Amino acid sequence: MGERLIKLKQMWWAWIVITIGAIISAFGYVVFILPMDMVEGGVTGIGIIIKHITGLPIVGLSSLVITGIVFIFAFRILGKRFGAKSIYAAILMNVLIDLFSVLKVNLNLESGDVLLAAFYGGASVGLGLGLIYFSGASTGGADAIGQILWKLRKISMGRTLIVIDIFVLSSAAAIFIPIKNLMYSMIFIYIEIKVIDMVLNGLRANQRIMIVTDFPDKMKKAIFTKLSRGLTIFKGVGGYTDKERYMLTSVLPKKNIPDIRRIIGKVDKKSFVIIQDIHQVYGEGFEKLPEKIEKVKKPRIGKKKRIKKVRN
């Protein structure tokens, strides 16, 4: 009974988070982006273009119609990959965009506040979409088109999304948006992407460091003593020198990177060091892995029909 209650809470919590995300995103579009004649890529960008062509507040309706058509093809080609959550998120966000537009929800920003609108618009839309994606849903069109083309033609999703964004932004520039506003739109899109990334990957900024050195024991002791960080040690051979060397690797917060660089410099100035950004880390000292993994249902195999032997 307790496990069922926990699962029920998790399920309803996902729907609540999607609802909050849709509200925040719709608010960001209507209050910051649309009044300043900014645009973004994807299906929502097409909806903004249609709004300017028709002069009607139908950004949400236009986006919803296009998303619906894309979803129909997605269901037929990809199967039930886009489930009920994605349908709910797409409908709710686009309906709210038009509803907020009709109700004239605004903050009375002046025409000169475009940079301010780009910043806060990117932050609010990115936060909302990040919450939706974090809950396992999608708001529609461009993602589905990318997956359809990947399955049919093996065209990468990244390339498809870039082509769609370039097409939408170029069309907006040709139809209604000044070059200046297009540049502000790019600032908005950049901030939006960064905020989505922060929501999905967490606010903890970690980096992985790899140290190739001739003094592994001395390096390990110095890092343990001064930073109290764990290390993994690998033995390797230089491809050019054929000399045996050791590589130490660890994951630690960005704030510790300057300290560990100083430690490395004192122990071995000739060491070879690589530092990489890490988005997600699970294990002792970091985030915990999910305790339960959903079981994959095995497809049912039909019973073989018995063939009766016919005697001649």
- pLDDT (tens, 9 = 90+) of the chain, 312 residues, equals 566 666 667 778 889 999 999 999 999 999 999 999 899 888 999 999 998 888 888 899 999 999 888 888 887 886 665 578 888 999 999 999 999 999 988 888 877 789 999 999 999 999 999 898 888 787 867 877 877 887 788 777 667 878 888 899 999 999 888 889 999 999 999 999 888 888 877 666 788 999 999 899 999 999 998 888 889 999 888 888 888 889 999 998 887 888 899 999 999 999 999 999 887 788 776 777 766 544 444 545 554 444 444 444
The answer to whether 208 and 248 have CB atoms below 8 angstroms apart is no
Distance CA 308, CA 306 (A): 6
Q: Which residues contact 240 (CB under 8 A, 6 or more apart)?
A: none
Q: Which pLDDT score is estimated for 177?
A: 84
How is the chain split into domains, by residue range? 2-201, 206-278
Q: Which pLDDT score is estimated for 263?
A: 93
H-helix segments, the chain: 2-28, 42-54, 59-78, 84-102, 114-134, 141-153, 157-175, 179-201, 216-227, 257-267
Q: Which pLDDT score is estimated for 158?
A: 60
The answer to whether 97 and 45 have CB atoms below 8 angstroms apart is no
Distance CA 251, CA 229 (A): 8
Residue type, 221: K
The answer to whether 219 and 213 have CB atoms below 8 angstroms apart is yes
Torsion angles phi and psi, residue 295, rounded to 5 = -75, 135
Distance CA 153, CA 137 (A): 24
Domain 206-278 -> CATH class: alpha beta
* CA 92 to the chain's CA centroid: 20
Distance CA 218, CA 235 (A): 15
